Amino acid sequence: MNAESLAGTVALIRLIVRRSRLWILIWVGSITLLAYLTAVGVESIFPDQASIDQAAAASQNNAAAIAFNGPAQGLDTLGGEVAFQVGAMGMVVVALMSAFTIGRLTRGEEEAGRLELVRSLPVGVHAPTVAALLTVAVMNGLVAALVSAALIASGLPATGSLVMGVSFAAVGLFFAAAALVAAQITENTRVVYGAGVALVVLAYVLRAVGDVGDGSLSWFSPIGIAQKARPYADERWWPLLPLLLAAAALIVIASRLAVRRDHGAGLVAPRPGPIGAAPGLGRPLGLAIRLQRGTLIGWAAAVLVVGVAYGWIAPTIDSFVANNPTVAQLMANAGTGTLTDTYFATSFRVMALIAAGFAIQSTLRLRGEESALRAEPVLATPVSRPRWAASHLAIALGGSVALLAVAGLAAGLSYAIAGGPWNSVPRLLAAAIVYAPAMWLMVGLALIVFGFAPRWVDGAWALLAGFFVIGLLGVILRLPDWVEQLSPFDHIPALPAASLDALPLAVLTAVSAVLVLGGLFGLRRRDIG
């Protein structure tokens, strides 16, 4: 890499900032806010050392909590509690931010054909990539600075706050570099996003299994490694070093791959496709299946891995309760079923929230097709708008249920194989599928925006992010009841810990149906394009 190959980098960074300032602001801002609000929330929940100690005792060996949050480190301090609550989740968000930004700025621009125009200018071979990488590095730098500052401002010790902020950024840089490698291999931006999500899910799950076990598996997860920096609990900086080294190595690999491929192409040469369409590819539904097949399979794989991991961990929780009479007593008094049941209820809420990403992505495929002018040729044939929309909706609604079924079966089977009872397979399947109405509601919400205000469809993602915060941090953040009630996922009976209540399911389904019909009505009335 010489100076020539970097010509124009600064101008390109300016262009990126100009085009993506809102994107940058929203990601960095919401991560900072997440950390700050969690810190403030934890501080208000635990007013004195006694309450902290009590919480620490409950979480210390609690495999369920550890599986979701990470290793129990310094839980007898406020900072340790904050890191426990928001550490893993924050890192997941930073990782997604970095991978998505890289995908969008590199392969996304290339696939859209805009990079071709840029490359025709006196711009170096590596300049667009380096500009994207520097932008993401700055975003992560901002995250490190702002998260540290926010935590310190909330009253937490400076060193721990700094370690926390920097470990977020280290995770972000790793996933940025990984996404950059993926962007060289495939010519499809969607696949880069998918690879990013898959790697993040894998990192989260490896860490969960590792942390619940002897911790060695966590060293294979970037998130697990970052947590070894132990913010607020005898901080140490060195675990962040391998993360940054790995990121550097990935960047070198990406640059080697980049010069070996053609502009616009991936590393894998495209194979010739079929000479004609298969019989199924002649109806709108056939086309929708063909277009969304890959997406659905990707999400199913992600949900499968998470489900298997959560099921696999569960027997540890049984033994934790068996060895801990105080906790057993506590659970019995609370009357919320066994700890394992509560654990599974939480697991499925998390998995449903993850799978809701598919529900939204799948529904918004309609908007993607419209913006890319690919809806036009279909709608110029005797296919009505509702029929066209219904083809993608069928995948969104049906695929959501399929993903929940995969999650339930995966968790149930792996739990049974790991030593749990076999009758948990149908129980857990039901506990997963019960979230279907909440998923449908997400489809309905996305569709109503698509029908009436198509420019604002990305708001559906913001809504899901909000429901994530409500679902995972609602208690910590001390959100008012009415805010928690906004999330459809909080209305779903928490099987298997709670009992089945059909009313909220029926109401959610009915609301979803109204939203879907409303969205179709809006679509019929508005301009396409």
Partner 1 sequence: MLHRFSIHGLRGSARSGPSAIDETAVDALRQHAHATGRTPELGASAPIVVTGLVKNFGTTRALDGLDLRVETGEVHGFLGPNGAGKTTTIRILLGLLRADAGSATLLGGDPWRDAVELHRRIAYVPGEVSLWPNLSGGEIIDLLGRLRGDYDRKRRDELLERFELDPKKSARTYSKGNRQKVALVAALASDAELLILDEPTSGLDPLMEAVFQDCIREVKAQGRTVLLSSHILAEVEALCDRLSIIRLGRTVQSGTLQEMRHLTRTSIKAELRSPADGLDKLPGVHGLAIRDSQVRFDVDSDHLDFVMRRLAELGVAGLECHPPTLEELFLVHYGEELAKEQGQASATSGGPR
**HSE, side-chain direction, 13 A CA sphere, residue 204:** 28
Question: Counting contacts by CB under 8 A, is residue 120 touching partner 1?
Answer: no
54-113: contacts with partner 1 (CB under 8 A): 111
Question: Counting contacts by CB under 8 A, is residue 290 touching partner 1?
Answer: yes
Question: Counting contacts by CB under 8 A, is residue 480 touching partner 1?
Answer: no
Question: Counting contacts by CB under 8 A, is residue 325 touching partner 1?
Answer: no
Question: Counting contacts by CB under 8 A, is residue 285 touching partner 1?
Answer: no
Between CA 250 and CA 261, with CA 255 as vertex, the angle to 5 degrees is 125
Question: Counting contacts by CB under 8 A, is residue 268 touching partner 1?
Answer: no
Record the tokens describing residue 231, joined without a space: 């913010």
Distance between CA 102 and CA 115 in Å, rounded?
A: 14
Choose the binding region for partner 1 from 64-72, 215-223, 369-377, 487-495 (rule: CB under 8 A): 369-377
4 or 376: CB nearest partner 1: 376
186 or 340: CB nearest partner 1: 186
Q: How many CB atoms lie within 10 A of CB 130?
A: 21
- Please name the residue that has the structure tokens 């056939």: 286
- 239-277 burial, b if ≥16 CB within 10 A, otherwise e? bbeebeebbeebbeebbebbeeeeeeebeeeeeeeeeee
246 or 285: CB nearest partner 1: 285
462 or 528: CB nearest partner 1: 528
Question: Counting contacts by CB under 8 A, is residue 246 touching partner 1?
Answer: no
State in angstroms the smallest separation of the CB of 184 from partner 1. 16
Whether the CB-CB separation of 512 and 441 falls below 8 Å is answered with yes
170-199: contacts with partner 1 (CB under 8 A): 187-188
Show the binding pattern over residues 135-174: x = contacts partner 1 (CB under 8 A), - = does not: ----------------------------------------
Record the tokens describing residue 369, joined without a space: 């097709």
Whether the CB-CB separation of 483 and 470 falls below 8 Å is answered with yes
Whether the CB-CB separation of 327 and 320 falls below 8 Å is answered with yes
- Report the sign of the C-alpha dihedral through residues 235, 245, 203, 323, in that order: negative
Choose the binding region for partner 1 from 378-386, 426-434, 446-454, 483-491 (rule: CB under 8 A): 378-386
- Report the sign of the C-alpha dihedral through residues 320, 323, 327, 330, in that order: positive
Choose the binding region for partner 1 from 232-240, 314-322, 329-337, 380-388 (rule: CB under 8 A): 380-388
29 or 294: CB nearest partner 1: 294
Query: Which of 377, 455, 481, 503 touches partner 1 (CB under 8 A)?
Result: 377
* Crossing angle of the two packed helices 284-322 and 325-334, in degrees rounded to 10: 120
Distance between CA 51 and CA 75 in Å, rounded?
A: 11
81 or 110: CB nearest partner 1: 110
Question: Counting contacts by CB under 8 A, is residue 273 touching partner 1?
Answer: yes
Binding-site ranges for partner 1 (CB under 8 A): 111, 187-188, 270, 272-278, 281-284, 286-287, 290-291, 372-374, 376-384, 525-529
